[in-house]
Amino acid sequence: MAFDSLSERLQSTLKKVSGQGQLTESNMEEMLTEIRLALLEADVNYQVVKEFIASTKEKAIGADVVGSLKPGQVLVKIVHDELVHLLGDEVSEVDFSKKPTVIMMVGLQGSGKTTTSGKIAKLIKTKYAKKPLLVAGDIYRPAAVDQLVTLGKQLDVPVYEKGTSESAENIVKGAMNYAALNNNDVIIIDTAGRLHIDEPLMQELANVKEIAKPDEILLVVDSLTGQDIVNVAASFNEKLSITGAVLTKLDGDSRGGGALSIRHITNVPIKFIGTGEKLDAIDLFYPDRMADRILGMGDVVSLVEKVQDVYDEKETMKAMKKMQSGRFGLDDMLDQMHQLKKLGPLSGILKMIPGMPSMPNLNDETTDKRMKETESIIYSMTLEERRDPSIITLSRKQRIAKGCGKDLAAINRLLKQFEQSKQMMKQMSNMDMATGLPKMGG
Ligand code: GDP
């Protein structure tokens, strides 16, 4: 598959980042050099690599390594986000709602233009339940017309063709009329390709554009081409102002560099990817999914996201100070518990931490039940009691038990547990400063 070797290199590099503390210029240097080499080796455009590294470095230095995260994990997330950004951030979809929507397909010969025209026709028919029309505009290659006719038959989609004797301009004019008469929703024009860009081809495409007034001009590029696709895209874009790119043959063995560079260099969004020769081997292009695929380590990325989402630095600092001064009360414990709960089921969080041993006796249901019990007991206490549980006498315990509908033993258990964890907090030199919670198993 495309990106395989880049993926392997990036992963093994990022796994090497270990240790504690913040990310600094010195602890990142070797790793940034490795990432740089990995990208260059994958044939990513030099300028793109330079900017990628600079931006990763800028974001990483001084990045908050919050919660129980490790610098390596935070770095994985930063590299992931930079990849998503490089690939265009958001999904860019083709809008098929206008009637008719006209799509002009352009690209070099062999890039997969005709095949992709068929794939899009199939998508429109099956997924969007619309009536497409395929237009055979490549008049220089007789085989191209035949190929499209065959695809049309396979898909049961009409193909407008006039062989190779009429001009592309005339064919497109005829096709527009045909579509109006036959109620076609989407017109997909397959145009001529060459092995290299040349002026007469560009002129013909510009004429076709003038007549068809396409809503989309999709440039089909072969991801196996490498860096040269960036130049091809830039030339097509300059002449035709393309609205999107389709990356084909991502199922092949490309190093991926061209695919990674094209968005950044041309600022044209990638709209579809081709992942095989079959007519359903087409997908929308999702920058985040592609970054996940390149980087792997999706579990680390979502762990970091979750921790960063719920991490409330001010609250935690407050809790930490209280702990250090011995003023940590049951209400603080409740707050911390709520923070932890926002992360989702505990077993899920643990599973996301690479290298975390599985804990067979950790059961979400019982943990959740215990948390709820603790919550209801604390809610039955007065503010005073929560802040200083040492004032809770037997009569107070009885009142609390009545209030939350638990027995006295449950109240005692919680108070004992709280006392124990308070003791432990004092003793722990390497306390988990970030969450303020005793470490798991404590
Ligand atoms: P055109 O000259 O641009 O119209 O290119 P074609 O549509 O004829 O495609 C050229 C070759 O690439 C054909 O053999 C296609 O089957 C193949 N092809 C197109 N898209 C893909 C793809 O996404 N994956 C693979 N593996 N092959 C593809």
Model confidence at 116, pLDDT cuts 50, 70, 90, reads very high
Distances (CA, A) of 278 to 241, 246, 251: 29, 16, 11
pLDDT of residue 154: 96
pLDDT of residue 355: 45
- 32-36, 149-153, 334-338: range with lowest mean pLDDT: 334-338
Q: Residue 102 pLDDT more than 70?
A: yes
- Using a 10 angstrom Cβ sphere, with 0-12 exposed, 13-18 middle and 19 or more buried, the burial of residue 365 is exposed
Query: Is 151 marked as a binding-site residue?
Result: no
Q: Residue 50 pLDDT more than 70?
A: yes
- Give the phi and the psi of residue 104 in degrees, each rounded to 5: -105, 125
Q: Residue 79 pLDDT more than 70?
A: yes
Query: What distance in Å separates the CA atoms of residue 152 and residue 190, rounded to the nearest whole number?
Result: 12
Task: Provide the terminal-to-terminal Cα distance of the chain, rounded to the nearest Å.
Answer: 45
Instruction: Please give the average per-residue pLDDT across 379-398, as a whole number.
Output: 92
Q: Which of 40-54, 111-125, 309-323, 379-393 has the highest mean pLDDT?
A: 111-125
d(CA 229, ligand 1 centre) in Å:
15
What is the per-residue pLDDT across 331-349, written as a single tens digit (0 to 9) for each?
Answer: 888 877 776 666 666 666 5
Of residues 183 and 303, which shows the higher confidence score? 183
Q: Residue 149 pLDDT more than 80?
A: yes
Query: Is 393 marked as a binding-site residue?
Result: no
pLDDT of residue 381: 93
- 13-27, 47-61, 368-382: range with lowest mean pLDDT: 13-27
Q: Residue 209 pLDDT more than 80?
A: yes
Query: Is 194 marked as a binding-site residue?
Result: yes
Q: Residue 311 pLDDT more than 70?
A: no
pLDDT of residue 304: 77
Query: Is 296 marked as a binding-site residue?
Result: no
Model confidence at 104, pLDDT cuts 50, 70, 90, reads very high
Of residues 394 and 297, which shows the higher confidence score? 394
Q: List the domain boundaries for the chain.
A: 1-85, 99-284, 386-423
Q: Residue 53 pLDDT more than 80?
A: yes
Query: Is 113 marked as a binding-site residue?
Result: yes
Q: Residue 181 pLDDT more than 70?
A: yes
Q: Which atom of ligand 1 is nearest to the CA of 111?
A: 3
Please state, for a pLDDT cut of 70, what percent of the chain lies above it.
Answer: 84
pLDDT of residue 354: 46
d(CA 122, ligand 1 centre) in Å:
16
d(CA 116, ligand 1 centre) in Å:
8
pLDDT of residue 309: 67
pLDDT of residue 284: 92
The best mutation among 123, 246, 251, 277 to test binding of ligand 1, ranked by most ligand atoms within 8 Å of the C-beta, falls on: 277
CATH 1.20.120.140 fits 1-85, yes or no: yes
d(CA 365, ligand 1 centre) in Å:
52
Mean pLDDT value across the chain: 84
Q: Which atom of ligand 1 is nearest to the CA of 115?
A: 7
Instruction: Please give the average per-residue pLDDT across 81-89, as a whole number.
Output: 93
**Tokens linked to 210:** 């003038």
d(CA 168, ligand 1 centre) in Å:
22
Q: Residue 441 pLDDT more than 80?
A: no
Q: Which residues line ligand 1 (CB under 6 A)?
A: 107, 109-115, 193, 220, 248-249, 251-252, 274-277, 281
Of residues 300 and 375, which shows the higher confidence score? 375
Predicted interface score ipTM higher than 0.90: yes
pLDDT of residue 4: 83
CA atoms within 13 A on the CB side of 115: 23
Of residues 327 and 381, which shows the higher confidence score? 381
Model confidence at 361, pLDDT cuts 50, 70, 90, reads low
Model confidence at 356, pLDDT cuts 50, 70, 90, reads very low
pLDDT of residue 287: 92
What is the per-residue pLDDT across 281-290, written as a single tens digit (0 to 9) for each?
Answer: 999 999 988 8
CATH code for residues 99-284: 3.40.50.300
Supply the pTM of this predicted model.
0.71
Query: Is 396 marked as a binding-site residue?
Result: no
Q: Which atom of ligand 1 is nearest to the CA of 108?
A: 3
d(CA 276, ligand 1 centre) in Å:
8
Query: What distance in Å separates the CA atoms of residue 319 and residue 434, rounded to the nearest whole number?
Result: 10
Model confidence at 137, pLDDT cuts 50, 70, 90, reads very high
- 16-25, 86-95, 256-265, 429-438: range with lowest mean pLDDT: 429-438
Let me know if the fold of 1-85 is the same as that of 99-284: no
What is the per-residue pLDDT across 396-438, written as a single tens digit (0 to 9) for each?
Answer: 999 999 999 999 999 999 999 888 877 776 665 344 544 545 4
Q: Which atom of ligand 1 is nearest to the CA of 117?
A: 7
